[in-house]
Amino acid sequence: MMLDDQHKKEFYEVCFNSMPIGILVFDKTQKIILFNKVLAEIFGYNSDELHNKNAEILLKDKYLLENYIQNSHNINFKNNLECVGISKNGNEVPVEMSFGKIEYDNIIYYKALISDISIRKEKELRINNLNFELEQEVALRNKELEKVIEQLKKTIDKEKELNQLKTRFISLASHEFKTPLSAILTSTELIVKYADLDNKIKREEHLTKVKTMINYLNGMLDDFLTLENIEAGNIKPNFSQFKFNKVVKDIIKQIKPFLKVKQTLNFENNIDETIYQDPKILKILLTNLLYNAIKYSDEDGKINVKISTDKNNIYLNIKDNGIGIPENEQNLIFNRFFRAKNAVYYPGTGIGLNIVKGYITSLKGSISFKSTENKGTVFKVQLPKINCNEQKSISN
């Protein structure tokens, strides 16, 4: 069937309007020349409303069409350009545009194919939101995972450290037990021998030695047990009221027999105050620090003990002029089983200071020291003065 011109025109129009995409034709002044039904629908206009209007009213970016007109020769001008359209009622409509040029009757016109991409954009937004949420979730999970890994690492490290400590403990303990045990063996053999010879004085002497050694071993076992209690947080202070200088004086009295031949132990006893603290723990602290001062000082070493108090605290100061602690090992001496290199020729297990620190921590006090190798060491202990209310919080 052949169509006459009139029918052809009508048919063109039907085709133009039934395109599933908005078609906009404008001239170089951006004046709208032609547009199809879909285009008017996208922007919410009636079929006749857009004629001769400036096409820039359809877009948020007022320079876009102008820009295209200026650069229409540039093949890089984007096709499928996503931009924001403005509908008749002022709402924003996400659209996708492709541009082109048309020549008719020696005049250049410009066309834009425009689709409404609201649904696609909405989906994209939803996907983006989901992605964002997913990323957040993954980041959170990753962080949790990192924490678990970190925790696991710590546990493994702790396990390793524990194994090393156990090995160290076994070798130390066997070494430390061996000397007194063989001394006990020798003494008991000699006791038997002197029994035969009926030498009472020698027998008594060796019996005392055996007792001393057994006490020493007992003390060591006590230390190990204390260590376990500290580790398990089982230290429950037992506070009572006592004269600070009197208790310290008694402890010093008990320690004096352990001084080496020419060693002196001076106690600066110039305060007379009654305090409220745990005297048993005080004894453990002072005894440990004094034993060390004696052990790590020469035969003619000088040891000095000072005590003082202020409004809130009591202080102990134990000074010796012994072998000192090498500077590069000073940060380790409160570690369990740690013994400085210059201490290996002296007996010891490396747990005394760890216990001291554990007790002081449980009393919410502090310990510090200053030491110079071959010159001496001074330990300073600070313990809070307890009042009845605090007692509860510390014992719990």
Contact positions vs ligand ADP (CB under 6 A): 292-293, 296, 320, 322-325, 333, 338-340, 343, 348-354, 377
CB of 335 to ligand ADP, least distance (A): 8
Tell me how far, at minimum, the Cβ of 323 lies from ligand ADP, in Å: 5
**Residue number, 203 or 339, with CB nearest to ligand ADP:** 339
Q: Which is nearer to ligand ADP, 77 or 177 (CB)?
A: 177
Distance from C-alpha of 133 to C-alpha of 94, rounded to nearest angstrom:
24
Handedness of CA 270, 274, 280, 281 (dihedral sign): negative
Instruction: Tell me the closest approach of the beta carbon of residue 267 to ligand ADP, in angstroms.
Output: 17
Residue placing its CB nearer to ligand ADP in the complex, 209 or 339: 339
Closest CB 136 distance from ligand ADP, rounded Å: 50
Look up residue 186 and give its two tokens: 């020798």
- Output the furthest CA–CA distance in the chain (Å, rounded): 153
Alpha-carbon distance values, 234 to 218, 227, 237, 319 (Å): 20, 10, 10, 30
Residues 6 or more apart in contact with residue 84 via CB below 8 angstroms = 59, 60, 61, 92, 93, 94, 95
- How crowded is residue 95: how many other Cβ atoms within 10 Å of its Cβ? 25
Residue 373 one-letter amino acid: E
Handedness of CA 199, 200, 205, 207 (dihedral sign): positive
CB of 296 to ligand ADP, least distance (A): 3
Give whichever of 293 and 383 is closer to ligand ADP, judged by the CB atom: 293
Nearer to ligand ADP, 169 or 296 (CB): 296
What values do phi and psi take at 108, rounded to 5? Answer: -90, 130
Would you say 326 or 384 has its CB closer to ligand ADP? 326
Q: Shortest approach of ligand ADP to residue 333 CB, angstroms?
A: 4
